[in-house]
């Protein structure tokens, strides 16, 4: 069984005056990587390095890592290997290093990046990784509150709400709830529709 994390978690370790801040982000959709990284870089713009790795998919179909300026193989790969070793997926791990003036060497860097991620995982609340699906939807104003509560009751999450003549939004929910989702929208034929443009 593969796991992911319930919410963003961070942890910090210090090794020979260098600080390593590991931040774990849940990654239900791989398309979110760029936005999460941009926000992380903004928050940790003063870090010497922001190295990362991510895994996505119930079969870990997507795997990527970056050393971000550290010597090849000393940061991104150890971060990735720590995630793999802990049976994680749908997760992005970023470790921001603040150089303390003492070089750690190849083995020291590998150990430090691995340990930083390991500590953050220990602080995380792990949950079973599930396949999520997305639906772009449109409804009238009167139906939105009812639909929002109905979707939340089956584990759905509403994103990117746009209020215009109607309300358009993205619904993300566990794939096993698709049948319940269809029941909800079939019961509201004139009030909600899929918004495939």
Integer Cα distance of 8 and 10 in angstroms:
7
Please check whether residues 25 and 121 belong to one and the same domain: yes
What is the separation of C-alpha 179 from the centre of its chain, rounded to a whole number of angstroms? 26
Please check whether residues 111 and 148 belong to one and the same domain: no
pLDDT for res 33:
93
Please check whether residues 76 and 155 belong to one and the same domain: no
Dihedral of CA atoms 125, 24, 81, 74 in degrees, nearest 10, equals -150
Please check whether residues 106 and 154 belong to one and the same domain: no
Please check whether residues 43 and 13 belong to one and the same domain: yes
What range defines the domain where residue 175 resides? Answer: 132-194
pTM, full prediction:
0.75
- Which residue, 88, 48, 45, 89, is CA-closest to 68? 48
For the chain, the domain total comes to 2
**Domain finish residue from 75, 102, 128:** 128
**Domain finish residue from 82, 112, 128:** 128
Whichever domain contains 137, its CATH number is 3.30.70.240
**Domain finish residue from 91, 107, 128:** 128
Please check whether residues 69 and 38 belong to one and the same domain: yes
Say which DSSP state 93 is in.
E
- Digit-by-digit pLDDT tens for the chain (197 residues) are 889 998 999 999 999 988 999 999 999 888 889 999 999 999 999 999 999 999 998 888 999 999 998 989 999 999 999 999 999 999 999 999 999 888 888 899 999 999 999 999 999 988 888 888 888 888 888 888 888 888 888 888 888 899 998 899 988 888 888 888 888 887 765 577 777 65
Please check whether residues 37 and 97 belong to one and the same domain: yes
- Positions of E strands within the chain: 3-5, 9-15, 18-26, 49-56, 62-66, 91-98, 126-128, 132-139, 157-163, 167-174, 192-194
């Amino acid at each position: 069984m593969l796991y992911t994390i319930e919410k963003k978690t961070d942890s910090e370790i210090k090794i020979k005056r260098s600080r390593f801040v590991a931040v774990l982000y849940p990654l239900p959709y791989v398309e979110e990587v760029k936005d999460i990284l941009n926000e992380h870089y903004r928050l940790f713009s003063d870090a010497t390095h922001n190295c990362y790795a991510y895994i996505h998919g119930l079969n870990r179909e997507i795997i990527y890592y970056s050393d971000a300026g550290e010597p090849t193989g000393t940061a991104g790969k150890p971060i990735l290997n720590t995630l793999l070793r802990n049976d994680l997926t749908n997760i992005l791990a970023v470790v921001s290093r603040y150089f303390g003036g003492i070089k750690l060497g190849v083995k020291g860097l590998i150990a430090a990046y691995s340990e930083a991620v390991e500590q953050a995982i220990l602080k995380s609340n792990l949950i079973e990784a599930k396949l999520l699906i997305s639906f772009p939807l449109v409804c009238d104003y009167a139906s939105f509150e009812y639909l929002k509560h109905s979707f939340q009751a089956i584990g759905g999450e509403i994103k990117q709400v746009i209020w215009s003549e109607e309300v358009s939004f993205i619904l993300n929910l566990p794939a096993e709830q698709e049948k319940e989702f269809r029941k909800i929208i079939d019961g509201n034929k004139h009030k909600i529709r899929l918004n495939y443009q």
